[in-house]
C-alpha cells in the first residue's frame, strides 16, 4: 500500500485537527473541575492548552493515524480518537455544590469547548474569506471546514448518554438513587455500546447528522453576517 504525498498531507492535517480538538475538550473538563474547587487537574498539569498534556499515545495519535491510512486506502474510516481522561476528585469540590451537579458541569464542559472551538473556527473562516485572504473552496477553506465539522461531531458524540462518554456521566448525575443499580449495570456495557456506535456507519448517523446540520447552520450564520459564501 503506497500513499501519495497529497494523501499523507491530508492524513497529517486531519490528525493535527483532531489533536487540537481533543486537547481543547479535555482542557474544558480540567478547567471546570479547577473552577469548582478541585485542584487535582492543576496538580497533574492538565489546566493547560498544551496538546501534549492531553494527548493519549494510542487514542490521540496512533489510532487516528492508522484510521487515516486505512481511509486513504479505501479500507476504513479515519478521524476516531480520544484524549487522556482528566482525573478529578468530587470530594474536593467546594461546599454548596453537590457531587452530582459537579459531575454534570465537569462532563458538559468538554463538549462545550468543542462547541466554542467549532463556532470560532467557522467565524475565522468567514473572516478570512471576507477579507480575501482565503478562497472559498480552496485548501485552507477545506481544512477549516473539516475542523468545524470535527468539533461538532466530537460534541454530539460525547453527549450520547452512554458511559463512559460525557453524556453518560451527565445521565449518571441525573439518575435517582433508587435506580443506581440499574444504571451501574448499564454502564458495564457502555464501552461495547460506544464501539458499536463509533464503528457502525448506520448507527453513527445518530450523532453525525445533527452534528453536520449544526456545523452547516453555524457557517450559514457567519455567511449571513459577513455576506460571503464559504
Catalytically annotated residues: 26
Count how many Cα atoms sit within 13 Å of the Cα of residue 48 in the half-sphere of its side chain.
Answer: 11
DSSP 134-172: S-TTSHHHHHHHHHHHHHHHHHHHHTSS-TTSHHHHHHH
Dihedral angle of Cα 70, 199, 87, 148, to the nearest 10 degrees? 70
Which has the closest alpha carbon to 118: 158, 152, 143? 152
Burial 5-33 (b: 16+ CB within 10 A, else e): eeeeebbebbbebbbbbbbbbbbbbbbbb
Amino acid at each position: 500500500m503506497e500513499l501519495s504525498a497529497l494523501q499523507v498531507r491530508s492524513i497529517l492535517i486531519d490528525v493535527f485537527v483532531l489533536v487540537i480538538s481533543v486537547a481543547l475538550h479535555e482542557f474544558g473538563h480540567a478547567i471546570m473541575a479547577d473552577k469548582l474547587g478541585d485542584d487535582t487537574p492543576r496538580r497533574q498539569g492538565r489546566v493547560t492548552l498544551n496538546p501534549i498534556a492531553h494527548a493519549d499515545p494510542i487514542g490521540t495519535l496512533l489510532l487516528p493515524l492508522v484510521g487515516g491510512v486505512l481511509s486513504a486506502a479505501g479500507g476504513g474510516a479515519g478521524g476516531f480518537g480520544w484524549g487522556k481522561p482528566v482525573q478529578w476528585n468530587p470530594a474536593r469540590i467546594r461546599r454548596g455544590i453537590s457531587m452530582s451537579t459537579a459531575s454534570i458541569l465537569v462532563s458538559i464542559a468538554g463538549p462545550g469547548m468543542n462547541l466554542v472551538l467549532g463556532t470560532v473556527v467557522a467565524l475565522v473562516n468567514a473572516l478570512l474569506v471576507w477579507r480575501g485572504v482565503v478562497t472559498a473552496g480552496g485548501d485552507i477553506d477545506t481544512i477549516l471546514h473539516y475542523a468545524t465539522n470535527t468539533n461538532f461531531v466530537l460534541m454530539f458524540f460525547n453527549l450520547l448518554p452512554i458511559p463512559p462518554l460525557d453524556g453518560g456521566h451527565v445521565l449518571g448525575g441525573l439518575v435517582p438513587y433508587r435506580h443506581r443499580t440499574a444504571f451501574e449495570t448499564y454502564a458495564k456495557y457502555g464501552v461495547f455500546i460506544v464501539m458499536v456506535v463509533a464503528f457502525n456507519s448506520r448507527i453513527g448517523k445518530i450523532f453525525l447528522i445533527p452534528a453536520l446540520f449544526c456545523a452547516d447552520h453555524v457557517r450559514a450564520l457567519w455567511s449571513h453576517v459577513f455576506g460571503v459564501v464559504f
